[in-house]
Structure 1
Amino acid sequence: MQNKSIDKIISAIDYIETHLSEKIDLDVVANAVHYSKYYLHRTFTSTVGITIHDYIQRRKLTEAGKLLVFSDKSILEIALIAGYESQQAFTNIFTAMYKQPPNKFRENEKFYPLQLKFEFKGRYRMLQNDKKPAWEVTFASDKDIPCWMDLVRLVIDGFPHLNEEEYIQVLKHRIATKQALILKDGTLATGIMIFSYQNGSIDFMGTHPLYRKKGIPRAFLDKVMRELLKGKDISITTYREGDKADTGHRREIMELGFAEAELLVEYGYPTQRFIMPGEVRNEEGFN
C-alpha cells in the first residue's frame, strides 16, 4: 500500500465525514475528490476493508444512534438527518444493524458505535516490503495502551457494545496478568489480542486494516497454541451467520480453522461461539 493511495482514501473519508447529514454515495464522493469511481471503490475497499456504501451507512447509523441517546430530536428528525426518506426505512436498517429498534435503543440509553471515523496514523514501514514479515508477538505493557486503543477504534465494527472506559479497565488488568498480546510496526499497533489462561478464550483480536494480508491472526494463534494455551481448546465468539452488521469477521475466523459451536447472547447481542480443538492444528502448522 503506497502512501499516495492512503492519502487519496483520507481525502475521501474527510469528505464523507463533513457531509454525513447529506445524501452521498460513491458517485458523489468520487466527483468531490476527483477520482474515478471504479478506482476509488476498489482502493477504498481494499484499504478500509469495507465498501464506501457500507462505511457511509455505518457512520450515518452511528451518528443517528448518538442522537437517539444524547438528544431529544424525534426519531423522524433523526431519520431525515441520516438521509432516510421515511422513519420506517430508517427503523428497518437501524434494527438490522443494532438488533433493536430506534425507540428501544433510546430507552436503553447505552450508545455504542457501529463505525468510527477511520484514522490513519503512522509510517507503515512494513507495508513497503512485499515479503511476509517475521512478526514478534510480545506481551503488551501499559505504555502500549494509547496505540492499542488507536487500533481498537479502527476495528470497532467487529465488537458490538464496546464501551471504551470499561474496556480500558479490562485491558489494564489483562496487561498486568500477561493476558494481552501485541504486534507492532514501530510505534504502530498492527495486531492486538486479549486471551484467558483460565478458560482458553480469545476475548478480543484485532488486525490493522492495512495489514490484513500480513498473517497477523495466524501469528497470534501460533504464539497461543505453541506456548500460552498449549493443548487447550481455543474459543472465540463473533457474529451469527447472516448478521448484516458483520463486515467479514465471521468468515475470517472460519478461515483460520475455527469450527462453529453454540449460539449465544452476549450483552443482549446475538453471537456464536467458535472452537479450535487443541490437538487439531497439524495441517496448519501450529503443532
Structure 2
Amino acid sequence: MSNKVINVMSVIDYIEANLTKKLDLEQVAQGVHYSKYHLHRIFSETIGLSIHEYIVRRKLSEAAKLLVFSDCSILDIALLAGYESQQAFSAIFKEMYKKTPYQYRENEAYYPLQLRFILSEKPNLKQRDWQTHIQLAVKEDLPLCLELVYQIVDGFPNLQEEEYLASVGSFIEKKQVLILKEEHLLIAMMAFDRSSGNIEFLGVHPQYRKQGIAKAFLKKLIEEKLTDQTPCITTFREGDKADPGYRKVWEHLGFAEAELLKEYGYPTQRMIFLKEGTDE
C-alpha cells in the first residue's frame, strides 16, 4: 500500500471519528500530525474532493439520517453537525438536498450525499488500453456494482439502494451494462438504454478517475453498442452546489446542454454527445 493511500485513510478515519465535532483542515492536520498543505493536496488527488467538501457532505449525510430515523429536533441535529444555528444548517442543507430539513423529514426517505470512502489498498494505476478490458456484466457482478455505487453515491442524488439494484439487474439481463474489473474490485460501470441512447449510469472508482476510463467507456459504447443512436445523459444543473464535478466531466467528454428536467423531484439537465473530448 502506498504512503499516500495510508495517509488519506488515516484522514478519513479521523474525520469519521469526529463527525459530531467542528472540523476544518487545520484541525484534521493537527489530529493526524501532517502538514495541512500536504494533506489537502494528497486528499484531493486521491478522492476528487477537498477535505472541506468531504466533511460537509459527510456531516449532512449523517444529519439527513437523523432527520429520517430519529426524533431529534432539527436544532439538535444542526448542533450535532457542527453548525452554530439552525438557520445556518438549514441553508446549507437546502443547497445540497434541494429540500429544507423539515421537508426532508416529512418525505421520510433517506439518501446520502456522501458515504465513507473505502479505498483500494493496492490500486493498479498504470495507464493501459482500458477499452479492451471492458466487458458485459453478469448477474454475479451485482454485489460489486453495489460496492461501487457506495463509493460514488455523490454523483447520484436521491439514489435508493433497492431501486438501484433492481434497475441494474434489469439492464444486466438485457446485456446493457459494461464493467471494468481489477481482480475483486469493480473499477467502473456503465448502464445504458440501447433503444434511447441514454446512459443511465456511469461511475468510476475515485482512485481511478484520472486514467481516461470514462472516455474508454464512451468509445466502447459508441463503437460497439450504440451504432445508430446518439448518447445522452442527465446530470446536475449548472451551479448546483451538490455537484462534486460530474457535470464538468461530461462537458470535457464532449456532451452539450439540452433541456432542463426534474427526476424524482430533483432538478437535473439532459446533455447530448456532440463530439469526442477528453476526461483528463
Alignment TM-score, normalising by the size of structure 2: 0.96
Secondary structure in structure 2 of the residue aligned to 1:244: coil
For structure 1, the 5+ residue unaligned runs are none
Which one of the candidate residues 208, 211, 233 is aligned to 1:211?
208
**Paired AA for residue 116 in structure 1:** L
The CA RMSD measured in Å over matched residues stands at: 1.3
Identical residues among aligned pairs (%): 52
Aligned pairs, number: 277
Q: In 1, are the aligned partners of 2:94 and 2:101 still within 8 Å (CA)?
A: yes
| Distance in 2 separating the partners of 1:134 and 1:259 | 25
| Distance in 1 separating the partners of 2:155 and 2:37 | 27
| Distance in 1 separating the partners of 2:172 and 2:144 | 14
Q: In 2, are the aligned partners of 1:263 and 1:270 still within 8 Å (CA)?
A: yes
Cα deviation digits, residues 158-178 of structure 1 (max 9, x gap)? 000101111111111111110
For structure 2, the 5+ residue unaligned runs are none
Secondary structure in structure 1 of the residue aligned to 2:7: helix
**Paired AA for residue 2 in structure 2:** N
Aligned to 1:7: 6
Aligned to 1:202: 199
Aligned to 1:166: 163
Distance 1:216 1:132, change over 3 A: same
Alignment of 1:1-287 (within 5 A): 3-124=2-123, 126-127=124-125, 129=126, 131-135=127-131, 136-277=133-274, 280-281=275-276
**Which of structure 1's runs of 4+ aligned residues deviate more than 3 A?**
131-135
Q: In 2, are the aligned partners of 1:133 and 1:214 still within 8 Å (CA)?
A: no
Shift of 1:133: 4.0
Cα deviation digits, residues 222-257 of structure 1 (max 9, x gap)? 111011101311110100001000000000000000
| Distance in 1 separating the partners of 2:260 and 2:51 | 31
| Distance in 1 separating the partners of 2:259 and 2:242 | 19
| Distance in 2 separating the partners of 1:132 and 1:159 | 28
Cα deviation digits, residues 87-139 of structure 1 (max 9, x gap)? 00000000000001000000000110000001113532x22x3x334441100
Secondary structure in structure 1 of the residue aligned to 2:261: strand
Alignment TM-score, normalising by the size of structure 1: 0.93
**Paired AA for residue 175 in structure 2:** K
| Distance in 2 separating the partners of 1:98 and 1:203 | 21
**Paired AA for residue 99 in structure 1:** K
